[in-house]
Amino acid sequence: MSTDFDHIVIGAGISGLGAAHFSARRGLSTLVLESSDRVGGCINSPSFAALDGFWTEAGGHTCFNSYGHMLSILDDLDLTRQVQPKLKVGYKLWKDGKRRSILSALHLFEAARSIPKLFKEPKDGRSVRDYYGAVLGQRNYQDLLQHAFQAVICQPADDYPAEALFRRKPRRKDVIKAFTFAEGIEAIPTAIAAQKTLDVRTGQQIERLESEGEGFRVRLQDGTAISTAHLTLAVPPDVAATLLPAESAFETARTLVAGIGMAEIETLVLVFRQTDLDLPPIAGLIAVEDAFYSAVSRDFLPDAQYRGFAFHFRPGTLDADAQVRRACQALGAAPERIAAQVYVHNRLPALRHGHFQLVEQLDAALAGTRLALTGNWFLGVSMEDALTRSHSEHVRLFGAGA
C-alpha cells in the first residue's frame, strides 16, 4: 500500500515526541500532529518577555540521571552536556495556614518500627494507601505521606497503584542526579520537534482515524487526509477512546481505554521580584487538606531578580482571585506585588487499583496491529515512564533493530 508517511504520531507531548524521535532515528518518514499551538504537553516552562525572559515550570519539574530513555534522546541531540544542576532546597508543609517542617508530621518511632517491611512487603497489585501504610506506618501515611503523594500526582493518592510510584531505574553516573536546563525542561520537547528529520505540525484538529488495509488514514477537520503505514496515539485516554478507529478490531481497546479516568489540575504560576518576598529558598510546599495539592518553586535554579512558583490547585475549589490570594498567603506575599502570573490547565491520568491488569488486556487487544498507544497513563506519570512506554511500543511496531 502506498502511504504518505511510514509513521504518524498524534500528540506532541513527551510521549509522542519520543515515539517520533525513535522512528525518525531509524530513517522512517515521521509526521507529528498536535492539536494545540505548542509542543511539550505537560512539560511547560512559561517565560515572561517583560521580565527579561524569566521562566518557571508549570508542569514537569525535574529530570533525573535514572531517566535512561530520556538521556538517550538527550545524547542524540547533543543536549546532555547542557544539563544544569538543581540547587538542593527542601520542601515545607502548608498546614492550617502555616508553613511547617516535614519532620513535624513524621512519627519517627512508627517509621523505625515499620521500615524493615520495605524489604519484604510486596508492592505489586497494591494501592498506595495499603502499601505505604504498611511499610511506613498508618499514622505516617495519614499525617504526611498521603499529602506528599498527592503533591506528586496532583490528585487523591489512596487508590493509586503503588507500583506506579517511584519505579526503580538504573542511574547514569556520568550525569548529575537531578537536573534541568537554562531555559527550563521545555528545552527537551522543543529540541526534539526542531529536528529536520521530523515533520511536526501544531494546531491540527483530527476528525477521525480510519483503517486502510494494514495501515491508516488520518482525516483532519480541514478536509485533509493523510495515509500512514503505522500510527501512534500519544494522547490522554479519554481522547484515545474517541480517536481509535471504529473498526471492530479496536473495539476491545476502545472499551478498556475509556475506563481510565483523568484528573484535572488548575495551575497558577506566580512571579515575584526577589525584593518583594521575605521567604527563604524552598523547593515548594506540600499542602495538607487545602485547596491546592502542592506548590513548586524555581528556587532550584536561582535568578538574580525574580522568583517563580507554580501552585497546583484542586479543580473547582477556588475561583481565580481566591487562588491568587491563597497562593500569596502561603508565600507571605502581597498580591499587589505580583510581577507576572499565568494560568495553565494540566491533566494527569487517574490510575487506580488493578490498572496494570487493564494494561495487559489492552496490550493483548493491540497485538498484531500497526497501531500503538503511549502516554503517561501506562507505567506512571513521570517523563521517563512515558518514554519507556513509547520505546516499548516502538519496538513492537518496528522491531528492536538499531
pLDDT in tens, 141-167: 999 999 999 999 999 999 999 989 877
- Amino acid in position 88: K
> How many CA atoms are closer than 13 Å to the CA of 207, on its beta-carbon side?
10
Query: 20: left (phi > 0), else alpha (psi -120 to 50), else beta?
Result: alpha
DSSP state of 42: T
- Amino acid in position 240: A
Mean pLDDT of the chain: 94
CA dihedral 97, 48, 43, 92 (to 10 degrees): -20
> Which domains are seen in the chain, by residue range?
5-42+186-260+354-398 (3.50.50.60), 86-177+261-350 (3.50.50.60)
Cα separation, 12 vs 87, whole angstroms: 30
pLDDT in tens, 179-188: 999 999 999 9
Contact 260, 349 (CB under 8 A): yes
What's residue 44's pLDDT? 95
> How many CA atoms are closer than 13 Å to the CA of 305, on its beta-carbon side?
9
pLDDT in tens, 241-291: 999 999 888 999 999 999 999 999 999 999 999 999 999 999 999 999 999
CA angle 187, 189, 191 (to 5 degrees): 65
Report the 10 Å Cβ neighbour count for 386.
31
Q: Tell me the three state secondary structure of residue 2.
A: coil
Cα separation, 402 vs 381, whole angstroms: 27
Q: Where are the alpha helices (DSSP H) in 77-127?
A: 108-114
Burial 301-325 (b: 16+ CB within 10 A, else e): bebeebbbbbbbbbeeebeeeebbe
C-alpha cell at 101: 517542617
What's residue 324's pLDDT? 98
What's residue 375's pLDDT? 96
DSSP letter string over 122-150? --TT-BHHHHHHHHH-HHHIIIIIHHHHH
Q: Where are the alpha helices (DSSP H) in 31-175?
A: 68-76, 108-114, 128-136, 138-140, 146-153
Report the 10 Å Cβ neighbour count for 326.
22
Q: Which residue has the cell 487517574?
A: 350
pLDDT in tens, 305-332: 999 999 999 999 999 999 999 999 999 9
**292-297 β-sheet, strand order:** 98-100, 91-95, 284-287, 292-297, 306-313, 261-273, 338-350
Polymer length of the chain: 402
DSSP letter string over 273-313? EGGG------SEEEESSSSEEEEEESTTS--SSEEEEEEEE
Query: 223: left (phi > 0), else alpha (psi -120 to 50), else beta?
Result: left
Q: Which residue has the cell 505548542?
A: 38
pLDDT in tens, 10-62: 999 999 999 999 999 999 999 999 999 999 999 999 999 999 999 999 988 88
